[in-house]
């Protein structure tokens, strides 16, 4: 039987509890675990509700305070590692599922598709979804370029959504992850990236199951909402340089169906609220650091402090920026963190203005071709 885990923080209790109930009534689920921080405003509300869900469904539903396990900023990684340790220590569960608690389109089909792939022999199962052409900007411009540049020819650049938090692992994979010091250390937003890397290094076959209704959840305003996530995901990729990953891993991907009109037209962040990030908060040190990047990037970023024109930062220059950051970035240096985030913002705005406006199909094709280009150049 399977354990379902919902890491959560500051969620809409109604959405989280509905998802918990959906998991609890699934015939393959024998336990639901909700892991969060005791300082979370919604922890008490969810804790108070889950016992009633368990009583109504006949499936145990528990809340658990996440332990401080990692070495990075306390966050989602601690919650997921707490759940992995609990899985191994409690009961004889065969599989564990992870789902974000704020998904408004979650259904039992998500669990069924993952279970079916595991029944077919895949010990690691990932869900992937249609995404807005302006969503997943960390995936497209932070994580997947790094996977393509550092592990070309392996399964890693081919993973559709390496930051996805919707996963299934068998006990064998969980034990591997729990024994990986780099996974346990990754207490922050970098955990999803680090799990992808560790599963690849372990050589486990991976299936990706497609969820056509998409993952609808609370969206962002300014990209400052995900500043920590962008930097921490880049750090996770960079710190894994040199990790050995086999080129022979079995990788199966469900064919996607047609993307619905809502997903094709949705804008995933506020351009208006984000443009100001190009001009605000510069330090003299950050201006000096721009000298590490190609002159076109330096000049464009400096000009952007007065006139937020970002057309200069296409995929080729971003690839060069990425290479510089791989060589020089320091996650403990606030100026480096702010500068990397700021240049990433310029890249996202440039892509939005130059490519996303051409329409969904054109934009997605461009993004896919860019990752393939980075991988080919690295081989």
CATH of region 2-262, choose from 3.90.550.10, 1.10.10.10, 3.40.50.1820, 3.40.140.10: 3.90.550.10
Q: Do strands 95-98 and 61-65 pair parallel, antiparallel, or not at all (unpaired)? A: unpaired
How do residues 260-298 score in pLDDT, each as one tens digit?
776 677 677 787 788 888 988 999 999 999 999 999 999
Closest C-alpha to 279, from 352, 346, 353, 350: 346
Q: Do strands 206-210 and 124-128 pair parallel, antiparallel, or not at all (unpaired)? A: parallel
- How far apart CA 69 and CA 182 sit, in angstroms, is 11
Contact (CB, 8 A) for 100 and 144: no
pTM for the model: 0.94
Contact (CB, 8 A) for 268 and 245: no
pLDDT at 139 over 70: yes
**Mean local confidence (pLDDT), 205-214:** 93
Contact (CB, 8 A) for 345 and 300: no
Dihedral of alpha carbons 109, 115, 116, 122, sign: positive
- How far apart CA 228 and CA 71 sit, in angstroms, is 15
Q: Lowest-pLDDT range, 92-101, 112-121, 303-312? A: 303-312
Q: How is the chain split into domains, by residue range?
A: 2-262, 271-378
């Amino acid at each position: 039987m399977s354990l379902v885990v919902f890491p959560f923080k500051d969620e809409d209790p109604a959405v989280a509890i509905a998802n918990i109930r959906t998991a609890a009534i699934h015939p393959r689920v024998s336990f639901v675990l909700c892991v969060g921080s005791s300082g979370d405003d919604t922890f008490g509300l969810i804790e108070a509700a889950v016992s009633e869900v368990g009583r109504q469904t006949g499936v145990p539903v528990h809340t658990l305070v996440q332990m401080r396990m990692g070495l990075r900023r306390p966050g989602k990684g601690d919650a997921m590692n707490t759940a992995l340790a609990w899985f191994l220590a409690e009961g004889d569960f065969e599989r564990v599922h992870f789902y974000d608690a704020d998904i408004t389109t979650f259904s039992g089909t998500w669990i069924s598709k993952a279970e079916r792939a595991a029944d077919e022999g895949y010990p690691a199962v990932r869900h992937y979804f249609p995404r807005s052409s302006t969503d997943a900007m960390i995936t497209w411009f932070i994580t997947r370029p790094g996977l393509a540049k550092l592990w070309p020819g392996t399964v890693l650049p081919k993973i559709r959504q390496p930051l996805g938090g919707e996963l299934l692992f068998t006990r064998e994979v969980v034990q591997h992850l729990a024994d990986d010091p780099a996974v346990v250390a990754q207490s922050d937003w970098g955990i999803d990236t680090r799990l992808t890397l560790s599963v690849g290094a372990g050589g486990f076959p991976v299936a990706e199951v497609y969820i056509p209704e998409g993952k609808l959840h609370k969206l962002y305003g300014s990209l400052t909402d995900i500043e920590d996530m962008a930097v921490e995901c880049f750090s996770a990729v960079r710190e894994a340089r040199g990790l050995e990953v086999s080129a022979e891993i079995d990788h199966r991907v469900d064919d996607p169906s047609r993307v619905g009109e809502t997903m094709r037209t949705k804008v995933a962040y506020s351009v208006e609220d984000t443009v100001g990030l190009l001009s605000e908060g510069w330090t003299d040190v950050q201006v000096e650091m721009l000298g590490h990047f190609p002159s076109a990037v330096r000049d464009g970023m400096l000009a952007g402090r007065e006139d937020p024109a970002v057309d200069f930062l296409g995929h080729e220059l971003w690839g060069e920026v990425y290479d510089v950051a791989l060589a020089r970035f320091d996650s403990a240096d606030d100026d480096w963190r702010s500068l990397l985030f700021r240049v990433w913002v310029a890249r996202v705005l440039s892509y939005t203005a130059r490519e996303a406006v051409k329409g969904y199909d054109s934009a997605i094709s461009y993004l896919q071709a860019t990752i393939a280009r980075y991988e080919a150049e690295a081989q």
